[in-house]
Structure 1
Amino acid sequence: MSKKHPVVAVTGSSGAGTTTVKRAFEHIFYRDGISAAVIEGDSFHRFDRVSMKAEMAKAAEHGTSLSHFGPEANRFDLLEELFRDYGETGMGNKRYYIHSDEEADAHNARLGTDLAPGQFTPWEDLPEGTDLLFYEGLHGLAVTEEDNVAQHVDLGVGVVPIVNLEWIQKIHRDNLERGYSAEAIVDTILRRMPDYIRYITPQFSLTDINFQRVPTVDTSNPFIARDIPTPDESFVIIRFKDPEKLEVDFPYLLSMIHESFMSRRNSMVVPGGKMGMAMEIILQPIIERMMEARKV
C-alpha cells in the first residue's frame, strides 16, 4: 500500500455492474481535478479471444474447464506487479483488450497498428504524474497461493448484486450486446462456477466497501426473466469493513440519502435509484483524504 501513489480497485464479476461505480469515480475525479491512471481488468487476461477459444477446447478434451475467472486464464502476477510498482514509483505498464470495432479503430489510430476486436494492444508506460491508479475488473483483490494482488490495494470496492440478479444482468447483456444465445450464456455460467467460488467470491471479504443490489421483485428463476429489475425495484446494501478506518459519518449519510437506514452497525441500506448518488457521497471524502495524505 502507498500514501504517495494510492491504488483504488473496483472489483465485481461479469455482469455485476461495476460500470456504475466507475462512473461515480469518474465524476469525483473530474470535480476534484484528480488525474487517474485507469486500468481495465480485461487487459490482464492471459489469452486473446482466438487463443482463449482454443485453450477452452483443449481443457474440455481433458475433462477440465477454463474460465476468465480463474488464474489459468489471467496474469495475476503481472497485475500484482503493476499495483506494487505503481505504489512504489507511480509508474507501471498497461495495455488494452479490444472489445469492439470502435475500440479497434481508436487504438489503431492512436498506435498506428492494425488490431481487431479480441486482441490486445502492445504494452505501454502509464502516463507520468498521475495522482492514483484506478482499476476496474474481475480481480482487483485476487489472492492465490502464488499471487496476492489485494495486499497492494489502498481502497477496495466490491460490486456484488445477489447472484440471481447478477445472472439476469449477464444474460441480458450478453444476449443484447454480444448476440449470445441463452443456452450459450448458461453454459458459460456453469463452466465458470468453480472459479467463481474460488477466486471471485473471496475478494468481497477483503474489500473496504461492498455495494450489493437486492431486487424487490421475483428473481427466483433468472434464466426465464424477461427484464432486469430496475434500480427503483431494488435496495442497495452498503457494507463497510471498518467504518472507523474510513471515517464513515453514518448520521450525515442517513440525512443526505432519503429513505436510507442502518441494518447493522457497519451496514446501511439505500433505495436502488439512489445508488449512484450514495456512491459519490460516500466515496468522495475518502478519495479526498487519500489525496491529502499524499502531501504529508
Structure 2
Amino acid sequence: MSMKHPIIAVTGSSGAGTTTVKHTFEAIFHRENVNAAIVEGDSFHRHTRAEMKTLIEEAERAGLRGISHFGPEANLLSELESLFRAYGEAATGRRRYYIHNEAEAMRWNLPLGTFTEWEDLPVGTDCLFYEGLHGALVTDEADIASHVDLLIGVVPIINLEWIQKLHRDTKLRGYTAEAVQDTILRRMHDYVHYIVPQFARTHINFQRVPVVDTSNPFIARDVPTQDESMVVIRFKDPRGVDFPYLLRMIHDAFMSRANTIVIPGGKLDLAMQLILTPLIWKLMERRRQWV
C-alpha cells in the first residue's frame, strides 16, 4: 500500500458487472477532480484470443482441462504485481489494452482478441484504478492484494453472473450460447481456487441478488433488471461506516448483519456514490499530506 500513490482495485468474475462499477468510479473521479490512471485487467492476459483457442483445443485433445483466464497460467500476474509495486513507489508503470469488440478494433486498427503495444502510464496522476479479474489475488508467485489501498468486490450470485455473461458474450462479442457454456464449465476449477478467495480480502463487496427466478440461467431470455434485484453490501471493517446515514439516504435499505446493509437494486449507483466518495476523499487527503 502507498500513502503517496494510492491504488484502487475493483475485482470480479467475467460477467459480474465490474465495468458498471468502473463507470461509477469514473463519475466520482470526474466530479471530485481526481486524475486516475486506468488499468484494465484483461490487458494482463498472457495470450491473444487465437492463441488461447489453440492452447485449449490442444489440451482437450490430450484429455486435459484447458487453461482459463481465471487461472495464473493465462495471465501476467507477476507483471501486474510489478505494476502495482512501481505505481505505489513512484507513480510509474506500463499498461496496454485488450481488443474486446469491433468498436475497439476500429479505434486501434487491430484484430479482435489482440493487444495494443505497451505504453507508459500518464505522468502526474493522483491514483491508479484497476478493474478486472485479479485485483485481490494472492498466489505463491504473486501477492497483488497487498499493494491495493481500496479493494472492491463485485459478486452477483453465480446464476445471475452466468446470465449476464451469456447475454454479453452472445450479443456483444459474437459467441454462441454453447461456446459460453463450455467456457463457464472449463473455468470452474479456476473460479473456485482463484476468483472466489479474493472476496475474503476485499474491503467492500457488492453482491446483486435477483428476486426473480434464475434457476436455469442457460434459458433466461433477459438479464434481471436492477429493479428486480436487491444488493447486499458487506464491509470487511464496519468501524467508521455511518450506517444510520446510509439507511436515511437509501429508501428501503436495511441492515441484515452488523457489517452488512441491503438495498434495492435500483439504488446501487446512489449507494456506491455515498459509500465510495468519502473513501476516495480520504485517500486523496492522505496523499496530499505526503506530496
* Matching residue of 2:271: 278
* Matching residue of 1:112: none
* Matching residue of 2:32: 32
Q: For 1:243, what is the secondary structure of its paired residue?
A: coil
Structure 1 residue 251 displacement after superposition = 0.7
| 8 Å CA contact retained: 2:105, 2:111 | yes
1:140-181 C-alpha deviation (Å, 9 max, x unpaired): 111111111111010000000000111111111111112222
Q: For 1:178, what is the secondary structure of its paired residue?
A: coil
Give 5+ residue unaligned stretches, structure 2.
none
1:163-210 C-alpha deviation (Å, 9 max, x unpaired): 011111111111111222221111111000000000000000000000
Amino acid at match of 2:270: M
* Matching residue of 2:204: 209
Matches within 5 A, 1:104-253: 104-108=105-109, 115-244=110-239, 247-253=240-246
* Matching residue of 1:101: 102
Amino acid at match of 1:284: T
* Matching residue of 1:79: 80
Q: Is 2:83 the partner of 1:90?
A: no
Amino acid at match of 2:257: R
Q: For 1:223, what is the secondary structure of its paired residue?
A: helix
* Matching residue of 1:295: 288
Structure 1 residue 49 displacement after superposition = 1.2
Once residues 103 and 213 of structure 2 are traced to their aligned partners in structure 1, the CA distance between those partners, rounded to angstroms, is 37
Q: Is 2:261 the partner of 1:268?
A: yes
Percent identity over the alignment? 64
What is the TM-score normalised by the length of structure 1? 0.95
Structure 1 residue 282 displacement after superposition = 0.4
Q: For 2:13, what is the secondary structure of its paired residue?
A: coil
Q: For 1:156, what is the secondary structure of its paired residue?
A: strand
| 8 Å CA contact retained: 2:209, 2:229 | yes
Structure 1 residue 40 displacement after superposition = 0.4
Q: For 1:147, what is the secondary structure of its paired residue?
A: coil
Structure 1 residue 52 displacement after superposition = 1.1
Once residues 218 and 102 of structure 1 are traced to their aligned partners in structure 2, the CA distance between those partners, rounded to angstroms, is 34
Deviates more, 1:129-138 or 1:221-230: 221-230
Once residues 251 and 95 of structure 1 are traced to their aligned partners in structure 2, the CA distance between those partners, rounded to angstroms, is 42
Runs of 4+ in 1 over 2 A off after TM superposition: 104-108
Give 5+ residue unaligned stretches, structure 1.
109-114
* Matching residue of 1:111: none
* Matching residue of 2:21: 21
Q: What is the number of equivalent residue pairs in this alignment?
A: 288
* Matching residue of 2:43: 43
| 8 Å CA contact retained: 1:20, 1:276 | no
* Matching residue of 1:255: 248
Amino acid at match of 1:240: F
**RMSD of equivalent CA atoms:** 1.0
